Amino acid sequence: MSIETVERPSTGAATAGQPMLDVKDLVVRYGNGRKASSAPAAVDGVSFSIQAGETVGLVGESGSGKSTIGKAILGLQKVSGGSIAFQGKDITSPDAARRRALGSELRAVFQDPNSSLNPRMTIGASLAEPLRVRGVSAGEARTRARDMLERVGLAGDAVDRYPSQFSGGQRQRISVARALICEPQLVVCDEAVSALDLSTQAQVLNLLADLRDERGLSYLFIAHDISVVQFLAQRVVVLYRGQVMEAGPTAAVTESPKHPFTQALVAASPVPRPAEQARRRALRESLGIRTAAAVAATPGGCPFRQRCPLATELCATERPALRRVGNADVACHYA
């Protein structure tokens, strides 16, 4: 898949210069009461913003906190610290009425399409459901469901069929249609293509890009494969154990990574060319970075230090702040 980093014009409901989404110093700890206060942070001081019409990619290994951030934005996970603003309004801990109002503007596409599709409901009923909740008539909702299905590349008569009658890639297209039928401003895509084969991945990614360009959508695109993020996002945020390691324009982060962890992610990303894959494997081995399974999480300092070939005593005692290196911000004392 080729890199797409075209700048998009700012559209949508956010005012000029105001981010569509603004996350500041976000902290999330699991548990309740005293247990939560003493638990290690799953997300530890993460900040980023998304402009109208922009896609920002969150990338990292399993356990990096990227899905937790998505859940916090969607109101599915309690926030322990920091703030989340959507279109300039705080949604860190919204009440039930505010959360319902956000339902049509802030939507999600998850890894498993079955999580958003009731197997006992027709596709038309599943797509019409969020519209009916908002007072749209049954006839109008069905018409809009047919139109949306056709827009994502399926036949309009799919409204009368059930999820089990579709392939995995088709069900993911239906999930995209369900997310977009209310005409949202921001869509959180949490590992939305990771369960699909490569050809279907490309189809869904192209669909998401086309819909973004047509509708001025903003995406938070969460994935563990940096090459997938590279295809769709204009900016990338790299996470490791709940902290930002590197952030910046997609080309800067993926073509010239500065943080050792980002370098390892890029080197580990699969490519279809055997010679290039062999070169990346050799590069990954030459970096001298230990595997995640070989080290345990320890508090304080840089969370990546036990795997990093550049680590010194300073890395064990002082958490590196994000600083500008080239065109990206990097949290490393020695980048």
- Grade residue 297 by pLDDT with cuts at 50, 70 and 90: low
- Residue 1 pLDDT > 60: no
If asked whether residues 199 and 95 sit together in one domain, one would say yes
Please say whether the beta carbons of 159 and 127 come within 8 A.
Answer: yes
pLDDT of residue 4: 35
If asked whether residues 68 and 175 sit together in one domain, one would say no
Would 16 be classed as within a structural domain? no
Q: 216: closest CA among 193, 186, 241?
A: 186
Residues 45 and 43: their CA atoms lie apart, in Å, by 7
The average confidence (pLDDT) of the chain is 86
Of these ranges, 101-110, 239-248, 309-318, the one predicted with the greatest mean pLDDT is 239-248
If asked whether residues 217 and 310 sit together in one domain, one would say yes
If asked whether residues 236 and 131 sit together in one domain, one would say no
pLDDT of residue 10: 37
What distances in angstroms separate CA 299 from CA 112, 171, 211, 323, one per listed residue? Answer: 33, 42, 42, 22
- Residue 180 pLDDT > 50: yes
Please say whether the beta carbons of 163 and 117 come within 8 A.
Answer: yes
Taking each continuous run of H as one helix and of E as one strand, the counts in the chain are 12, 12
Q: Tens digit of pLDDT for each residue in 5-48?
A: 333 333 345 555 789 999 999 999 987 777 777 778 999 999 99
Q: Tens digit of pLDDT for each residue in 85-132?
A: 999 999 998 887 788 788 889 999 998 888 778 899 999 999 999 898
Residues 248 and 237: their CA atoms lie apart, in Å, by 7
Alpha helix (H) residue ranges in the chain: 33-38, 66-74, 96-102, 123-133, 138-151, 168-180, 198-215, 226-232, 250-255, 260-268, 274-286, 313-317
Please say whether the beta carbons of 195 and 18 come within 8 A.
Answer: no
Question: Residue 165 belongs to what domain range?
Answer: 114-183
Final residue belonging to a domain, choices 125, 158, 183: 183
pLDDT of residue 12: 42
Query: Residue range 244-256: average pLDDT?
Result: 95
Would 25 be classed as within a structural domain? yes
**Side-chain half-sphere CA neighbours of 83 within 13 A:** 7
Supply the CATH number for residue 296's domain.
3.40.50.300
